[in-house]
């Protein structure tokens, strides 16, 4: 019984860290993966570096984005889910 009370604070600390740090990060990663898979040609997007454009071609892991400067090929993971959602609401 004494050992249990000795490890209780560590166990409680792990549970708190899991629910406040690990779980939300896993949820965010899942949502981003889902967002990347639902992209379609014609979607207006914003990249994580701040470039605005429209999806003109899709491949398995890459996307071609049409900007005012021309077409750019980049990874799907470079597209910002939050910024693209904000752009879609406008």
Contacts of 87 (CB under 8 A, 6+ apart): 44, 45, 46, 52
Tell me what pLDDT residue 1 has: 74
What string of pLDDT tens digits covers the 90 residues of the chain? 788 788 899 999 999 999 899 999 999 999 988 988 889 999 999 999 999 999 999 999 999 999 999 999 999 999 988 777 777 776
Tell me what pLDDT residue 89 has: 75
Strands (E), the chain: 44-46, 52-58, 62-67, 70-75
């Amino acid at each position: 019984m004494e050992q249990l009370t000795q490890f209780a604070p560590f166990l409680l600390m792990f549970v708190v860290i899991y629910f406040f740090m690990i779980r939300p990060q896993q949820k965010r990663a899942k949502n981003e993966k889902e967002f990347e898979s639902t992209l379609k040609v014609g979607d207006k997007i914003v990249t994580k570096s701040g470039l605005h454009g429209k999806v003109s071609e899709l491949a398995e892991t890459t996307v071609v984005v049409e900007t005012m400067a021309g077409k750019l090929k980049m990874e799907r993971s470079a597209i910002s889910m939050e910024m693209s959602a904000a752009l879609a609401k406008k």
